[in-house]
Structure formats: C-alpha cells, structure tokens
Amino acid sequence: MSAKFSTLALSEEMLTNLDSIGYTEMTPVQAETLPLILEGKDVIAQAKTGSGKTAAFGIGLLQKLQVKKFRVQALVLCPTRELADQVAKELRTIAKFAHNIKILTLCGGAAFGPQLGSLRHGAHIIVGTPGRILKHLNKETLSLENLETLVLDEADRMLDMGFIEEIDKVLEYAPTTRQTLLFSATYTNEITFISDRIQRDAVSVKTVSTEVANKIEEHFYEASNKTDTLIKIFSTFKPENIIVFTNTKIEAKELAENLAKNKIDALGDSW
C-alpha cells in the first residue's frame, strides 16, 4: 500500500505544493528514505534513475532549509551536466512552496564567468559536477562553511567516471558535522567503501526489488563508418529523440555536422 506525503512531518506549504505538482503518494525509495532524511540521518540508498530519488533528497533538504539564511546550505554532486540540470529543475519545482529559494547549477562545459556572477549574488543550494565545484572552491568563489546537507547522486557513475579524487577534495572544504546522502543504482564494494569514509552511521536502504524495471533493449553494431551506420539506424527505427555519446568534444561536433549534412537535425554539446 502506497504511503502519502501527508504522513510525513512536512510543512503545510510543502504539502500544498507537492499536491499541486501531482506528488501525493510516495515511491518506494521516497517512503524508505524520507523519514530518515527528515530525522537528519545519513542515508545510503540503492535506487535507479526514475525511482523518484531526486524528490526524496530534494524534499528532505528543502524542508529543513533556512530561507532567511542566505548561504549555501546544500550541495548536490552529479556525474554529468545533463543530470545536474534535471536535478536543479526538479528542485526548483519542489521549492515553489517558499519564496526566494535560490538554486544554482555549476557544471563544466559552461562559461565560468556567468557562474561567478551568479555566485556573487548568493545561493541556498548548489547542484553541479565535482570538477567545476572544486574549481570554484579552489578560487574561493564558493564557500561551503555553512553546508548542512551533501548529496552524492548516482555515486556509482561518478566513481566509474573517475571523480573520486575531486569528490575527496571537495569534502575537504565541507564541515564534518553535516548530513550526507548517497544514492547509487548499484551497491558495489567501492560504494560501500566511500560510504564508510564520508558518512556517519549511515542507514542502508535498498528499493530496487520493488521498483518497476526500465524497459531498455540493447543492440550492438560493429561498424567501420560510424556516421553511415547511425544514419541507417535512425532511418530504420525512426526515433523522435536521440542522445549520442562520443569520446571527445571534437568528435561530438564533427558528428553533429556530418548528420546535419545528411538532413538530420543534430546539435553537438559537451558536459
């Protein structure tokens, strides 16, 4: 039986906003982690994309946010710019229960100057990638001295992408008396190891067995000319939206240009 958000110790303003955006019944990961998060406990949760984990940690950190205290109180680390943008968008939707909550996104692949200008005006919550967050910390354009909540979203992907050194350095700037939330789709020895190092008496939550499986069908193609192969795949399956990952920014740009020459609307981007 699904649990309702109204059973939690949330403000009336938060509950009204959640109801207005269609959040009435909690997903398994929300039902398991939110009571713990609201109690201030460290949590390590195994939950995949689409499970509702963003709302889980988002509601938790926003509920205890002190809006009048215009300092960075929460930091969410994400493996990619795309995920950071998605997380920030959902946090802004949930944050509509109160006025003047400022959420900033700091990621690589975007100009440093505009980010610096935004930081000068202050923020309550920062969402970003480890490398760009560390760059701002090193340049002293970002302070975490008032940080109360740290979230590692899709921690397994960050470890796979080699961000562990940057994460460790970011933590050197953060207070030790903080709440740390770690969300990962897999529960590897590396995830357990990092949890032991950065969390205090973390409560373990696993909800993947109760989540609806993602409907993903995988195919492998060996190709000498990748562009021609992609064009044939697109013409065969006729997808509406496509994301193509490349090894470098240059490859992304060249592929987009080649697809455009073949009358396929494409945009080269880097995160």
* Contacts of 11 by beta carbon, 8 Å cutoff, 6+ apart: 63, 97
Domain that holds residue 111: 5-210
Residues of the chain with confidence (pLDDT) below 70: 1-2, 208-216, 269-271
For residues 36 and 65, membership in a common domain is answered with: yes
For residues 84 and 21, membership in a common domain is answered with: yes
Which regions of the chain does DSSP assign to beta strands (E)?
Answer: 43-46, 74-77, 103-106, 125-128, 149-152, 179-184, 203-206
For residues 112 and 21, membership in a common domain is answered with: yes
For residue 28, the domain's CATH number is 3.40.50.300
Residue 211 exposure: Cα atoms within 13 Å on the Cβ side: 23
Q: How many domains does the chain have?
A: 2
For residues 17 and 33, membership in a common domain is answered with: yes
For residues 90 and 127, membership in a common domain is answered with: yes
Question: In the listed set 210, 237, 257, which residue is the last one of a domain according to the structure?
Answer: 210
Question: In the listed set 210, 237, 260, which residue is the last one of a domain according to the structure?
Answer: 210
In total, the chain counts a number of residues equal to 271
pLDDT of residue 270: 53
For residues 15 and 143, membership in a common domain is answered with: yes
Buried b (16+ CB within 10 A) or exposed e, 204-239: ebebbeebeeeeeeeeeeeeeeebeebbeebeeeee
For residues 221 and 206, membership in a common domain is answered with: no
* Alpha-carbon gap, residue 125 to 123, rounded angstroms: 6
- Looking only at the bridges linking them, the beta strands covering 203-206 and 43-46 are parallel
Amino acid at 189: N
For residues 155 and 105, membership in a common domain is answered with: yes
For residues 247 and 197, membership in a common domain is answered with: no
